[in-house]
Structure 1
Amino acid sequence: MADPPDALELPVLRRVLILAAAVLGSTLYATTLLVASTLLPQMQGSLAATPDEIAWTTTFNILATAIATPMSGFLAARFGRRRVMLASTIGSTLATWMCGQAETLEAMVLWRVLQGGLGAPMVPLANAIVLDSFPRRQAGLVSSIFGMTVVLGPVIGPVFGGMLAEAYGWRWAFYMIVPAGAVAAFAQWLVLPRDRPGGRVPLDWTGFLALATCIACLQLVFSRGQRLDWFESAEIVIEVLLALLAFWIFLAHSLTAPRPFLNLRLLLDRNYALGLVLVTIYGMVNFTPIVLLPGLLQSHAGYPDSIIGEIVGYRGLGGVVGFGSTLLIGRFDPRIGMSLGFGLLVVSGLWLMSLDLNVGTGVLLANSVLQGVAVGIIWVPLTVLTFRTLPPGATAEAMSVFHLLRNLGSSLFIAVSVTEIIRSQAMNYGRMTELLSPYNEALSAPQVMGGWTLETLQGLARLSREIDRQAAMIGYANAFGLYMAASAAAIGVVLLARGRPRPAG
């Protein structure tokens, strides 16, 4: 493919500054996605909310992000990438400040919605600007540097946000993002290339509303299904039916309209279509350990918050190593790098499945580093392979769908994993307690019971707590098994992609 026009006109220093500004803005936005995950207990008490109500601060943020992400291509065509990037950075930063100022649950939900919706175009547009500002031969290098936002952003939020929340209160976890957001906006205003907006580009309202309805219903199903017992709830059934109907309308309209909201003909490109499948799986396995491990370690293994934050932070260290290694791996076929990365995730999943509640900190740190190395290795060849054969003019629209599916994959897999943990924990608790009976002769052997006893209420209570811990561990092991299986399935999809084209002659 020919180099993008900007890559031939911009001097080297300008390209480096563009990359730095884009990385800073995208990292800050990625930080806001999971920063509230460590703040929910403090926010719940401060805002006088129930656990179900405080969860809406995360649910609606993800929902707004999912709906606004596909708008990136239209907004860039209508107003220009530079204007949209600046507006997105400034708007998201102001909304983050207002999150820290919120005094009621309603205000917090509102500002979290605006934070997600206003900042959603930032990552796909920044990625598109970076790819179009460098020659094609440097796509692997700049994708490696930019891809650190995918790994480091979600790590920075929980780690530093939890530290500030513990020392000064949950509001400072939001305030820490504001100064860096102001610096990012100023840097983008200085260095981003000025582009010419496309003028009055019409918006396909039918396609947009149908897609937004489908995404909104799916996000609500993923976020609320576990609490409402999935298809036992009339709300979940209605939302699933609405999602299917909206998707059918979007699909039929996009295939017949002269100017659809999203150009589905891009899926005729084999590598792009397979890249969307792979980035969905990548989203599924990227955030799952970050979300699941803290609950396991805090509630059942007795780890303090400081150690849990350190374990999550080591994943970022592994990510830096993984992205650095792509400078060497990038010389080979992209399928090699992706197969290696997903293979390491398979090893990581098998390792997590073998853990018990007596696991040491060193084992968890090593596994966290391995996860970071794996996701760092995958991102660059995945981006290069997906967008290599697309024309430069389609980058913004294609990138918005790329990041949309990454977010949807994360939401889907986290919901499925949490459901599996709860289901397995309840089932195994019931099975193990059936064996606790005075008529079970095996329990009369001292080497079986150890310090446990069935003779007193206190002994039964202690034994019940221990069985609950072990049942939970089985549930987490099953969830890590799903994580391993998804990583293994991705290797098969990688092999279907086209490798590097052979030189003529």
Structure 2
Amino acid sequence: MSLPSAANAPPLTGGKLALGTLAVALATFMNVLDSSIANVAIPTLSGSLGVSVDEGTWVITVFAAANAVSIPLTGWLTQRLGQIRLFVGAIVLFTIASWLCGMAPNLPVLLAARVFQGLTAGPLIPMSQAILLSSWPKQKSSTALALWAMTATVGPIAGPSLGGWITDSYSWTWIFYINIPVGIFAAVATWMIYRSRETPTRKPPIDLVGLGLLVAWVGTLQVMLDKGKDLDWFHSPVIVGLTIAAAVSFTAFVIWELTEEHPIVDLRLFGQRNFLGGTIAISIAYGVFFGNLVLLPQWMQEYLGYRAVDAGLVIAPIGIFTVLLSPVIAKVLPRSDARLIATLAFIGFALVFWMRSNYIVDIDTYHLVVPTLLQGIPMAMFFVPLTAIILAGQPPQRIPAAAGLSNFVRVFCGAVGTSLGANEWYDRTVVHHARLTEQATPGNPAFTQFLDFLAKAAHLDTSASRTVFGQLVDTQAAMLGLNDVFWISAVIFIAIIPLIWITRAGKSEGGAADSAAH
């Protein structure tokens, strides 16, 4: 007798439901935690490995890019291996990759281990959604989505504070070793509970051409974004070449996937209004959110003198309202229009980033924490409604492909958002630095008077006074540049609201969850 499909198996109950939900949630948490735990450790990690902070940031972007590449393989791997074997296998390999990251003696080895870690992480998010939804009763599917969203949002939130504490108290290597006990527990518990709910398997053909083109355009685009600043962008023939290669391989990828009988990525899903609007909206929003989540702790450490753990703790309060309100959203969603809730979330994000665009160089911790605390409110209204919109009306057999593709776009946008945010901060800092120093000439009485004041007040000679002035300008320029990034982020959140409203109207968009579960 064939094993039952997880989508058609009866819901779990009692202790099995609780333990199964915990195991799946921990696997999800482990994955999303690693997308952000290194954020506050980048300065320390870079110094330990003898590389620049810009190079250290590759630890974040290569993970996200590799993760994005592997996510579309989820549907094919599910058919070949079955949902449960794939999910447990991915947890085990992710745990091994985490150990390799901690053991890395230099940056190239660490980046290779992070690529491996990102590749193994690909199936975890879409599989966790499908398995969790199949575990809960149909009428509780919104609750299941809310639980998944809590783990998916708390991970990036807890990452910086946990990563900062580990980095300051122990070593940056432990930000990876922490996954080992979590991964072992999640793998063992998941296998014990779900092995009897394995899905049927078959051997579909693999779209090798599509996979190769996917790797080509994602890889070249990510390298172009990461190296652009160092190579002076399009003044460099290397960047021009990478851009052309990315454009050509992407165009070929789209054409091939739309005409291939068994595509590695089912781009036809974008022909559905809900999938199109919801996926683009959640992906752009996540890219902006995650890019800022990387920049904020770096700025606090480099220019405000915060320790890694303190920078992480400033970000941690974002989880308070997220955790408190997520169950409320789960109850409200079935009786509400998911588009309205998502719109309120985007407006909330815009207000938070507008508040941050008014930061000053001598800002205190209280005024840093308040926007972070308030950001938890739109975070709670972000993932659940948009996920429900994206999956609305999908038949059970297309849920893995739809969840995989939407997560691929979202995760890839997170990598792109990190690179673009860092580049925009650098560019705006350069602009403000030039404006601040254009009047710093010996012929300007105000400038010479300021240097005389520094010399007398701090007992400095002329050279030391100029050095102090330069440091002040650097700090102010970086602050003004970051304010520009925050302001642009606020505008983007308002600008993408219409994407939500191209989706179909109707209450209980959580019906998507019902379709996913049954």
**Sequence identity percentage:** 27
Bigger CA drift: 321-330 or 491-500? 321-330
- Distance 1:273-1:306 versus aligned 2 partners, 3 A rule: same
Q: Does 2:414 correspond to 1:421?
A: no
Match of 1:125 in 2: 127
Gaps of 5+ in 2: 510-518
CA deviation string 1:56-100 (max 9, x = no partner): 443432332121111111101111110100100001011112222
Match of 1:473 in 2: 479
- Give the number of equivalent residue pairs: 499
The equivalences for 1:287-436 within 5 A come to 287-330=290-333, 331-436=335-440
Amino acid at match of 2:193: V
Q: CA deviation at 1:488?
A: 0.7
Gaps of 5+ in 1: none
CA deviation string 1:163-220 (max 9, x = no partner): 2222222222222221111110011101225223332111111222112211111222
Match of 1:189 in 2: 191
CA deviation string 1:262-294 (max 9, x = no partner): 222222221011111112122123212321111
Structure 2 counterpart SS, 1:323: helix
Query: 1:105 and 1:441 mapped to 2: Cα distance?
Result: 48
Query: 2:293 and 2:7 mapped to 1: Cα distance?
Result: 38
What's the Cα RMSD here? Answer: 2.6
Residues 300 and 306 in structure 2, CA contact (< 8 A), matched pair in contact too: yes
Q: Does 2:462 correspond to 1:459?
A: no
Structure 1 counterpart SS, 2:279: helix
The equivalences for 1:56-455 within 5 A come to 56-192=58-194, 194-330=197-333, 331-440=335-444
Amino acid at match of 1:462: V
Bigger CA drift: 251-260 or 174-183? 251-260
- Distance 1:404-1:413 versus aligned 2 partners, 3 A rule: same
Q: CA deviation at 1:298?
A: 1.9
Q: Which has the higher contact order (CA 8 A, sep 6+)?
A: 2
- Distance 1:286-1:502 versus aligned 2 partners, 3 A rule: closer
Bigger CA drift: 104-113 or 43-52? 43-52
Residues 90 and 121 in structure 2, CA contact (< 8 A), matched pair in contact too: yes
Amino acid at match of 2:143: L
Bigger CA drift: 78-87 or 159-168? 159-168
- Distance 1:54-1:475 versus aligned 2 partners, 3 A rule: closer
Bigger CA drift: 97-106 or 390-399? 97-106
- Distance 1:160-1:327 versus aligned 2 partners, 3 A rule: same
Query: 1:476 and 1:47 mapped to 2: Cα distance?
Result: 27
Q: CA deviation at 1:475?
A: 0.4
Question: TM-score if structure 1 supplies the norm length?
Answer: 0.91
Query: 1:155 and 1:502 mapped to 2: Cα distance?
Result: 28
Residues 7 and 135 in structure 1, CA contact (< 8 A), matched pair in contact too: no
Match of 2:505 in 1: 499
Query: 1:476 and 1:286 mapped to 2: Cα distance?
Result: 14
Bigger CA drift: 358-367 or 190-199? 190-199
Amino acid at match of 1:461: T
CA deviation string 1:407-426 (max 9, x = no partner): 12122222222222211211
Amino acid at match of 1:70: P
